[in-house]
Amino acid sequence: MTRALVTGAASGIGAACAHRLAADGVHVIAVDFDADGLRAVARDGIEPVQADLSDLDRLGDLPTDVDILVNNAGIQQVAPIEQFPPERFGYILRLMLESPFRLIRQTLPYMYGRGWGRVVNISSVHGLRASPFKAAYVAAKHGLEGLSKVVALEGAPHGVTSNCVNPAYVRTPLVTAQLADQAATHGLTESEVLEKVMLEPVGVKRLIEPAEVAEVVALLCGPTSASLTGSSFVLDGGWTAH
């Protein structure tokens, strides 16, 4: 049976990926530090594992015998650079770039041994474009894009592909919390923040659903995916068409 490890699987995009891969008959190891969220996601075919993915020295405790690795866990922090807490910058790079590197590094030998593997990195439009006040997030996602391409080149002779998936704003707690915060900060309603701030550069004026992102992940892991590698699959409602 195909086995997958999905990080940040207790919520949002990660939970949708876990459900979507499990629906394809994949055994999913759902990793997150949110025990309650993991309990809600766990079901037949989804095995919860609680871990803090920013604790690099403990990542070696996670299963390495997986055919699919979805690097998804992530957080956001919004502040101008001169006020951006340096320790927070380091934490975000650790969680969203170093931890994926370590997980890829420790799972590739198993994939190489099987002659088949799929690495999917949940990047963002912010892996390809910058926005002000998101220095750590944009830096981490741009770094993830580079890492993913190197994995694609090294993995190709072994049947291992590596790609990024790049959504614009997705309807998850990461975004709905920002809606409330920004509404309070700007003195706007949440729907005004959505329209005037978040969806301003986007052609398709709605939030993306987590299941839409999971569908692309399933495609990248599916039977027609062998030549899909070293790429970034953009679901951004036209944002980067500008």
Give the footprint of ligand NAD on residues 193-232 (CB under 6 A).
Answer: none
Question: CA-to-CA distance for 140 and 95, rounded, in angstroms?
Answer: 9
Q: Pick the piece of the chain touching ligand NAD (CB under 6 A) from 17-25, 52-60, 79-87, 222-230.
A: 52-60
Task: State yes or no: is 110 an active-site residue.
Answer: no
Does residue 11 belong to the site contacting ligand NAD (CB under 6 A)? Answer: yes
Q: Which is nearer to ligand NAD, 61 or 113 (CB)?
A: 61
Does residue 100 belong to the site contacting ligand NAD (CB under 6 A)? Answer: no
Does residue 72 belong to the site contacting ligand NAD (CB under 6 A)? Answer: yes
Q: Pick the piece of the chain touching ligand NAD (CB under 6 A) from 9-17, 80-88, 183-191, 217-225.
A: 9-17
What does the per-residue mask of binding to ligand NAD show for 139-168, with x meaning CB under 6 A?
----------------------------x-
The token pair at 36 is 């309650």
Number of chain positions touching ligand NAD (CB under 6 A): 27
Q: Pick the piece of the chain touching ligand NAD (CB under 6 A) from 31-39, 147-155, 185-193, 219-227.
A: 31-39
- Residue from 146, 173, 203, 222 binding ligand NAD (CB under 6 A): 173
Question: CA-to-CA distance for 242 and 239, rounded, in angstroms?
Answer: 6
Question: CA-to-CA distance for 140 and 92, rounded, in angstroms?
Answer: 7
The binding site for ligand NAD (CB under 6 A) comprises 8, 10-14, 32-34, 37, 52-54, 72-75, 95, 122, 124, 167, 169-170, 172-175
Question: Which residues are known catalytic residues?
Answer: 137
